[in-house]
Amino acid sequence: MAKTSKPLVLIVDDVPKNLQVLGSHLKQENMEIAVATNGNQALSAAQKTMPDLILLDVMMPEMDGFETCKRLKANPKTAEIPIIFLTARTETDDIIHGLKLGAVDYVTKPFHGTELLARVKTHLDLKLSREALKEANATKDRFFSIIAHDLRAPFSTLIGFSEFLIEDYTKMEDAVKRDIINDILSVSRQSYQLFENLLAWARSQTGSLEFHPEKIELRRLIEENISFMQKTAKEKEIALSSQVPENLWVLIDRNMILTVIRNLISNAVKFTPRKGCITLSAESIDHKCQVSVADTGVGIPDEIQNQLFKVGNHISTIGTENEEGSGLGLILCYEFIKRNQGHIRIESEPGKGSRFLFTLPLAKNTE
């Protein structure tokens, strides 16, 4: 994900004076600095802080810059971080060796401030563009895989059921016909929801989704929405209720937040066994409104919790009654909550249940 905060540059040099000079140049340009005075320190600092760029001195005792570079490139975690060598030697052989090891550029000592900054900025920009491209590509792949797989399956089911109904219509008992029509209805509903999510996501990715914040009373919005979902919950004998207090006014884009609530409730229903409970609540904390959707369902293992909101990871499991999904719901929730200046997180204990918590901006005056 593209960073919006200050870029972090790790400077590695065994001469403190150099660290100081380089550091002050970069700080003036609004960059964050981390420092290391030898190769080993550089390896651990790079892993820990994941800088956006590394300025690496070539001549250092024990492990020199070339060796350090080799090890950084060999570690998948740090391999993508661009490295610029700092070298006093201008011999082309050395520089070529460094570039072959995977460094993107070099600067020679003594430093020329403007040149150094120009190079650092170029490589920081390139890194951001690379990351944005990677994300755009993952989005595109995800999009096609959903269309190819998740929209195709319900269509073949619908066609199959309808053909069956037409072919054997006169021979079938009314109860059987009703069952088939019910199946057609439920598959159509599921695919419609997927289709709506897909369209919303496409609009958000192409930048054509406009953000229209309105002042809304949360309780009313949630209660209207819950009534639509009550039917699916009842089919699984799940108690779905709202404890959202009256008079909590938020400044939000109605459609985006409805999509979020609909997805979180639909997940809660999907991953909660029969006779479970789903509760929606909200409170005002730290000048924000915090909304919670809690269920008594299967829970989510710690290690996948952080991956659920990212496009590149295709995480989708079947529900307690084999309900299928495409893994798009939470990605949309993350995107829309972010657009509404909020934050979404998960608290969950496998076997006991999950709670999705998100924040929304409070509207200034209550009515």
- Contact set with Mg ion (CB under 5 A): 267, 325, 329
Amino acid, single-letter form, for residue 180: I
State which of residues 326, 344, 359, 362 lies at the interface with ligand ATP (CB under 6 A): 326
State which of residues 271, 334, 336, 358 lies at the interface with ligand ATP (CB under 6 A): 271
Minimum Å distance from CB 307 to ligand ATP? 9
State which of residues 317, 321, 338, 366 lies at the interface with ligand ATP (CB under 6 A): 317
Is 295 near ligand ATP (CB under 6 A)?
A: yes
Is 78 near ligand ATP (CB under 6 A)?
A: no
Is 354 near ligand ATP (CB under 6 A)?
A: yes
Q: 98 or 325: whose CB is closer to ligand ATP?
A: 325
d(CA 51, CA 71): 16
Contact partner, 209, from Mg ion, ligand ATP, none, Cβ < 5-8 Å per class: none
Q: 80 or 323: whose CB is closer to Mg ion?
A: 323
Minimum Å distance from CB 27 to ligand ATP? 41
State which of residues 232, 259, 267, 340 lies at the interface with ligand ATP (CB under 6 A): 267
Is 297 near ligand ATP (CB under 6 A)?
A: yes
d(CA 262, CA 228): 9
Is 308 near ligand ATP (CB under 6 A)?
A: yes
Residues within window 328-347 making contact with ligand ATP, judged by CB under 6 A: 328-330
Angle made by CA atoms 82, 85, 90, in degrees to the nearest 5:
145
Helix, coil or strand: residue 267 = helix
Q: 22 or 268: whose CB is closer to ligand ATP?
A: 268
Is 312 near ligand ATP (CB under 6 A)?
A: no
Q: 329 or 353: whose CB is closer to Mg ion?
A: 329
Tell me the two tokens of residue 38: 């030898």
Structure letter (DSSP) for residue 62: S
Residue 324's region, left for phi above 0, alpha for psi from -120 to 50, else beta, is: beta
d(CA 280, CA 291): 7
Helix, coil or strand: residue 139 = helix
Only segment of 40-48, 213-221, 279-287, 310-318 that touches ligand ATP (CB under 6 A): 310-318
Q: 298 or 362: whose CB is closer to ligand ATP?
A: 298
d(CA 202, CA 130): 21
- Contact letters (x/-) for ligand ATP, 177-216, by CB under 6 A? -----------------x----------------------
Q: Is 167 exposed, middle or buried (0-12, 13-18, 19+ CB in 10 A)?
A: exposed
* C-alpha torsion angle, residues 206, 212, 217, 222 (rounded to 10): -20
d(CA 257, CA 76): 38
Strand order in the sheet with 83-87: 32-36, 8-12, 53-57, 83-87, 105-108
Contact partner, 295, from Mg ion, ligand ATP, none, Cβ < 5-8 Å per class: ligand ATP
Write out the H or E segment, with its range, that includes residue 37. none
Minimum Å distance from CB 320 to Mg ion? 13
Minimum Å distance from CB 308 to Mg ion? 10
Q: Which residue is nearest to ligand ATP (CB)?
A: 325
Is 298 near ligand ATP (CB under 6 A)?
A: yes
* C-alpha torsion angle, residues 202, 207, 210, 213 (rounded to 10): 100
Q: 230 or 316: whose CB is closer to ligand ATP?
A: 316
Helix, coil or strand: residue 350 = coil
Tell me the two tokens of residue 36: 């290391």
d(CA 17, CA 35): 12
Query: What residues make contact with ligand ATP under the rule CB under 6 A?
Result: 194, 263, 267-268, 270-271, 295, 297-300, 308, 315-317, 325-330, 354
